[in-house]
Amino acid sequence: MEITSVINEAVTTISELDKKRKILSEKLLPLTKLNLLESGSPELAEEKLIIPVEKSSLNCKIAGVDSGFIDKDLFALDLVLIRAVGAVFNYKKEKLAKADYFPSFYAFPEPSLSKAGLEADEFQCSKSIQRLIKEVETAKALIEKFSPEFCFLDGSIVPQYADKPRNESGIKSDYHEMLKQFQSLYKIAEKNDCELVGCVEDSRGSRFRQILQEQLLSNQKNLSWQLEGCYDAILLDYLLKPGERSFAFNYTASTKEHPILMDFDEKWSKSVRAFYLKPVSFDRPLRVEFLHQNGESISKHASKVASMVFAQSCMHREYAYPSILIEADLHAKLHSQEIEIVYDKILNKLNKGFKLRLRRDSRPF
Amino acid sequence: MTKDEKNIGTVISSMDGPSPGSLEFVVNNGKVHRGQFVEMDFGKGTLIALVNDVQKTNRYFERADSVKEFEKNGSAMSEQFPTAEWEYLVAKTRPLGYFENETIKRVTFPPSPGTRIRLASKENLERFLNFDENGLLLGEVDHHNLPVKLGMSSLLKKHVCFLAQSGFGKSYSVSVLLEELLDRPKEQGRIATIVLDPHGEYSCFAIPPSEKGKKDYSKKTRLVKASDIKIGVPKLSVGVVAGIVPGLSAPQKRDLGRILNELKKQMKDGLGPFDLNDLRDAVARDKAIKENSKGPLIGWLDMLRELRLFGKIDNPSIPDLIKPGQLTVVDLSDTINLKKKQVIVSYFAQRIFNERRSNRIPPFLMVLEEAHQFAPQMAKSETAISRSIIRTIAREGRKFGASLCLVSQRPVQLDTTTLSQCGTHIILRITNPYDLKHIGESSEGLDSKSIDMITSLRVGEALLVGEATHYPLFFKVRERKSAESKHEKSLEKAGLEFEQGLEEKDAETAELL
């Protein structure tokens, strides 16, 4: 196929999808008028599908944690560098008054070597687990040292499916260590009265859409069918206006069936909630996750979290992401030169002529 | 202070270096300025580099659209992000050379990234820049608080030039140099100085200052007005005349030489000195000269007579003008005729140079203000009478202790051959791109960054390039001790004085009537 025809086809497909989704969202508009609580479903814990959010005033201490990793495949093993960095913004009268960092403004990344004999998928999983452990450890230390009122994580506050190794895998113990660390983080956040908030940049979640299909569109099969395959963030991009959020919902329909949450203590597995927030006109909604214990009003709690995320993410009309996480990302991001430094040092200490580099990385031309 | 405490930065790895010709360092302690010198350990020695640019970077301000967006709500970026934490100062430097075993060597191998940088110490800079304890104090190295003391020989022997656009301190800087030469004690070796001054800017040296605190150089200065100058015709050789009248043909030169020799012989025989009229008459009377040669020759001599510059004896006499530790200012400001000025310059330059070659006068420095008028680049030899002798002194003067100091505001119009012979260039602010290009082409050791810096020099700041220091040096010209020239008065004051003069004249006329 010629490149121009591929481009034309892509443009047509995207435009048609956009048109369809607009029509679809218009069809969904009546749902926004419903009182969801009348349904009696535990999945629909807030009154409205779409809820306006008030921007919180910034007069508090907010932390953000991000991590970066970079790896280099070598012949006998793989070299991994991980850097997890926390930033703390102290706001006074809506202005940033001071910034602190953990472990420091510039932290040299921690190098580690992959476990011997891992399969390719296990190696990917192992790297991700190591990175999450470092990130969570940093978040824990940050909360204990600086007592922020909010602690933002870059990404979900729950490990992802891909982070779970096979049952017989050699990195299973690492996985359990990761779960331990996550639950320890939840506990420390709770103890320190710190709101743990996960912000997912480009979420591919579809839980919101599933709830719609199952709870609100069960009688409209045709409409429900049309929603199939649509990510939440795309669907809600049409439904939400800037300064609005979706209702908050449970992270999963059944914690016992969720591959990760099934391994958590029940206290935590049942407390993970999420909603989508649209902070600015020209960016997609942001998926926000937080921990909610029964007893408090979910609506009030979600609005409190949404207010802070909104205040932190509404400065740029084309880029909705909390400023504290932008700062943490600048510190955590790793560059290829950094792993080359470690690699060169290893090579220097080895005998001359040691064949460490992969053949595919050593092509002469 | 330990070496570590003196560290101000660290060499970083960049697209351009570190290389023997360029290195960058991140400033991690204090400030660094353009034109400052830094040093670093290099092998067993110390490498000196010149900071030729300083750049601030900040990741938060790299994208204009983002900055605008984040600030549209009225809050500055710094109120939303810790922007100050991300600000880095990167200094771009040019490695100049390094000391090893007390000798300065060229950098042929780069220092490693990670090398710690210090501000250059005074001791190292003094050695590196070839400063001389008994040298001429011209100013202070910018940001180093170090006096610029240049050895007289290293600065003047291979000639020096001062280049700047009008109003940026050429004459002021030259005056500082003149003061240093006049203040020089006999024991350190003195030279004579003659200034050929088209605007009378240096006449002030000959006048006791009325201002308090200003040093009086009048006793060491001799002022000669152009209107008082007479060139003694008996002292003219055919070579000198050919220098003044570039159109003379070989037969004309031969005939004129013969007639001059006859007149000189008659003078020695008791007829006394002769003048231009006598010479003209002798030429007219001579029967050996062909008529087609005689006519033009008489024409040339008439042209010279019209200048009213020639007499029976020299006034002043050359040995009176050139004395060690003395400044002679030849004030040409009362002469409008450029040709006459060029004849004076040509004659004095030739006579002084010849006298010096014969060791009848001391070594000297000839300061040529508005040098482009006397050694123009693009003029024909008929309208550039003095260019040839200036070129000769520029080429050969070094061997005889005859130094030139060229001063010009239009380097592009100054004779390239002459300019290229100047071993040291002292450049003040210049913005004209043609002049800058010309300077870049004629000044060895000037890189594009240094040329860029010339355009941003402030009044009194100068860049020195060449033999005197071996390496480019930015410095502040010191305050002058002598009274400033009357030309330096403000427009307001000049206007006021003019009108007061008119009123006085009117009053005098009224009184008379």
Query: For each of chain B's 513 residues, which pLDDT tens digit applies?
Result: 666 668 899 999 988 889 999 999 999 888 899 889 999 999 889 999 999 899 999 989 998 988 988 898 888 999 999 998 899 999 999 999 998 888 889 999 999 999 999 999 999 999 999 899 999 999 999 889 999 999 999 999 999 999 998 888 899 999 999 999 999 999 999 999 999 999 999 999 999 998 888 999 999 999 999 888 888 888 888 877 877 776 788 888 888 899 989 998 988 888 888 888 888 999 999 888 888 888 888 888 888 888 888 888 888 888 888 999 999 999 998 888 888 888 889 888 988 999 999 999 999 999 999 999 999 888 776 677 889 899 999 999 999 999 999 999 988 888 988 988 999 999 999 888 888 888 887 776 677 777 888 888 888 899 998 888 888 888 999 999 998 876 666 788 888 988 999 999 989 888 887
State how far residue A111 is from chain B, nearest Cα, in angstroms.
Answer: 21
- Asked if residue B122 lies in contact with residue B146, where contact means CB atoms within 8 angstroms, the answer is yes
Contact B81 A327 (CB under 8 A): yes
- List phi, psi (to 5°) of B177: -65, -40
Bridge partners, residue A155, by sequence: none
Could you give the angle at the alpha carbon of B376 between the alpha carbons of B373 and B377, nearest 5°?
A: 160
- Asked if residue B335 lies in contact with residue B227, where contact means CB atoms within 8 angstroms, the answer is yes
As a whole number of angstroms, the distance between CA A46 and CA A49 comes to: 8
Task: Select the residue of B66, B73, B82 nearest A99 (Cβ to Cβ).
Answer: B82
Residue of B nearest to A331 (CA): B86
Task: Select the residue of B59, B66, B81 nearest A96 (Cβ to Cβ).
Answer: B81
- Within 8 A by CB and 6+ apart from A36, the residues are A44, A46, A47, A48, A49, A216, A247
- Within 8 A by CB and 6+ apart from B252, the residues are B293, B296, B297, B300
B317, HSE (Cβ side, Cα atoms, 13 Å): 8
State how far residue B398 is from chain A, nearest Cα, in angstroms.
Answer: 55
As a whole number of angstroms, the distance between CA A168 and CA A177 comes to: 16
State the greatest distance between any 2 C-alpha atoms of chain A, in Å, as a whole number: 75
Contacts of A318 in chain B (CB under 8 A): 69
Could you give the angle at the alpha carbon of A160 between the alpha carbons of A159 and A166, nearest 5°?
A: 100
Contacts of B14 in chain A (CB under 8 A): none
As a whole number of angstroms, the distance between CA B390 and CA B402 comes to: 11
As a whole number of angstroms, the distance between CA A101 and CA A145 comes to: 10
Q: What's the pLDDT at B487?
A: 63
Contact B69 A99 (CB under 8 A): no
Q: Which helix (H) or strand (E) holds B196?
A: strand B192-197
Along chain A (365 residues), what's the average pLDDT of each consecutive run of 10 residues? Answer: 88 90 88 89 92 94 95 81 96 93 90 78 88 96 97 96 88 94 97 97 93 91 88 92 96 93 94 96 95 90 97 92 95 88 81 74 76
Identity of residue B419: L
Tokens of B116: 């710690």
Residue of B nearest to A326 (CA): B81
Q: What's the pLDDT at B490?
A: 75
As a whole number of angstroms, the distance between CA A226 and CA A24 comes to: 8
Q: What's the pLDDT at B488?
A: 64
B2, HSE (Cβ side, Cα atoms, 13 Å): 2
Mutation site for B-interface testing, chosen from A92, A327, A329, A345 by largest number of B Cβ within 10 Å: A327
Contact A95 B75 (CB under 8 A): yes
Contact B69 A319 (CB under 8 A): yes
Contacts of B78 in chain A (CB under 8 A): 96
- C-alpha dihedral, A124 to A125 to A129 to A130, nearest 10°: -30
- Asked if residue B459 lies in contact with residue B142, where contact means CB atoms within 8 angstroms, the answer is no
As a whole number of angstroms, the distance between CA A304 and CA A290 comes to: 11
Contact B69 A315 (CB under 8 A): yes
Contact A96 B69 (CB under 8 A): no
State how far residue A217 is from chain B, nearest Cα, in angstroms.
Answer: 40
Task: Select the residue of B59, B75, B85 nearest A99 (Cβ to Cβ).
Answer: B85
- Asked if residue A224 lies in contact with residue A215, where contact means CB atoms within 8 angstroms, the answer is no
- Asked if residue B97 lies in contact with residue B105, where contact means CB atoms within 8 angstroms, the answer is yes
Task: Select the residue of A89, A315, A330 nearest B73 (Cβ to Cβ).
Answer: A315
Contact A323 B81 (CB under 8 A): yes
Contact A317 B69 (CB under 8 A): yes
Residue of B nearest to A94 (CA): B79
Contact B82 A315 (CB under 8 A): no
Residue with tokens 């013969």: B258
- Within 8 A by CB and 6+ apart from B436, the residues are B430, B451, B454, B455
As a whole number of angstroms, the distance between CA B83 and CA B81 comes to: 5
Tokens of B264: 């000189």
Q: What's the pLDDT at A1?
A: 67
Tokens of B137: 């104090």
Contacts of A94 in chain B (CB under 8 A): 75, 79
Contacts of B59 in chain A (CB under 8 A): 330
Contact A89 B59 (CB under 8 A): no
Bridge partners, residue B42, by sequence: B45
- List phi, psi (to 5°) of B78: -70, -15
Q: What's the pLDDT at B4?
A: 64
Contact B59 A318 (CB under 8 A): no
Tokens of B509: 């006329």
- Asked if residue B80 lies in contact with residue A97, where contact means CB atoms within 8 angstroms, the answer is no
Q: List residues in chain A touching B: CB distance below 8 A.
A: 87, 89, 94-96, 99, 105, 315-319, 323, 326-327, 330
Mutation site for A-interface testing, chosen from B81, B86, B87 by largest number of A Cβ within 10 Å: B81
Contacts of A63 in chain B (CB under 8 A): none
State how far residue A118 is from chain B, nearest Cα, in angstroms.
Answer: 36
- Asked if residue B190 lies in contact with residue B458, where contact means CB atoms within 8 angstroms, the answer is no
A334-360: pLDDT as tens digits: 988 888 888 888 878 877 677 777 777
Contact A316 B69 (CB under 8 A): yes
As a whole number of angstroms, the distance between CA A311 and CA A155 comes to: 18
Contact B70 A96 (CB under 8 A): no
Within B307-432, where are the H helices? 318-321, 338-357, 371-374, 387-400, 416-420
Task: Encode B362-378 in three state secondary structure.
Answer: CCEEEEECCHHHHCECC
- CA B185, chain centre distance (Å): 23
As a whole number of angstroms, the distance between CA B50 and CA B39 comes to: 9
Does the domain spanning B146-229+320-491 belong to CATH 3.90.1150.10? no
State how far residue B58 is from chain A, nearest Cα, in angstroms.
Answer: 12
Mean per-residue pLDDT of chain A: 91
Q: What's the pLDDT at B2?
A: 65
β-strand pairing of A244-246 with A50-52: antiparallel
State how far residue B77 is from chain A, nearest Cα, in angstroms.
Answer: 10
Interface size, chain A vs chain B, as Cβ–Cβ contacts under 8 Å: 33
Task: Select the residue of A315, A316, A327 nearest B82 (Cβ to Cβ).
Answer: A327
- Asked if residue B376 lies in contact with residue B389, where contact means CB atoms within 8 angstroms, the answer is no
β-strand pairing of B402-408 with B160-163: parallel
As a whole number of angstroms, the distance between CA A133 and CA A202 comes to: 22
State how far residue A115 is from chain B, nearest Cα, in angstroms.
Answer: 33
Contacts of A87 in chain B (CB under 8 A): 82
Could you tell me where the beta strands, DSSP code E, fall in chain A?
50-52, 61-73, 78-92, 95-102, 110-113, 150-154, 195-200, 244-246, 249-250, 272-278, 286-291
State how far residue A98 is from chain B, nearest Cα, in angstroms.
Answer: 7
State how far residue A314 is from chain B, nearest Cα, in angstroms.
Answer: 9
- Asked if residue A266 lies in contact with residue A241, where contact means CB atoms within 8 angstroms, the answer is no
Q: List b or e across A71-92, with b for residues whose CB sees 16 or more CB atoms inside 10 angstroms.
A: bbebeeebbbbbbbbbbbbbbe
Contacts of B81 in chain A (CB under 8 A): 96, 323, 326-327
Q: What's the pLDDT at A140?
A: 97
A346, HSE (Cβ side, Cα atoms, 13 Å): 19
As a whole number of angstroms, the distance between CA B245 and CA B381 comes to: 9
A270-304: pLDDT as tens digits: 999 999 999 999 999 999 999 998 788 999 999 99
Mutation site for B-interface testing, chosen from A58, A85, A96 by largest number of B Cβ within 10 Å: A96
Residue of A nearest to B67 (CA): A316
Interface confidence, given as ipTM, is 0.75
As a whole number of angstroms, the distance between CA A302 and CA B241 comes to: 103
- List phi, psi (to 5°) of B40: -155, 155
> Length of chain B, please?
513
Bridge partners, residue A84, by sequence: A67
Identity of residue B102: E
How many other C-beta atoms are found inside a 10 Å radius of the C-beta of residue A176? 12
Tokens of B346: 């040509």
The 8 Å CB, 24+ separation contacts for B10-17 are: B10/B114, B10/B115, B10/B116, B10/B117, B11/B40, B11/B111, B11/B112, B11/B113, B11/B114, B11/B115, B11/B116, B11/B117, B12/B90, B12/B113, B13/B113, B16/B92, B17/B110
Tokens of A201: 């940049």
- List phi, psi (to 5°) of B181: -70, -35
As a whole number of angstroms, the distance between CA B339 and CA B373 comes to: 10
Contact A318 B70 (CB under 8 A): no
As a whole number of angstroms, the distance between CA B476 and CA A15 comes to: 67
Comparing CA positions, the residue from A144, A160, A142, A162 lying closest to residue A152 is A142
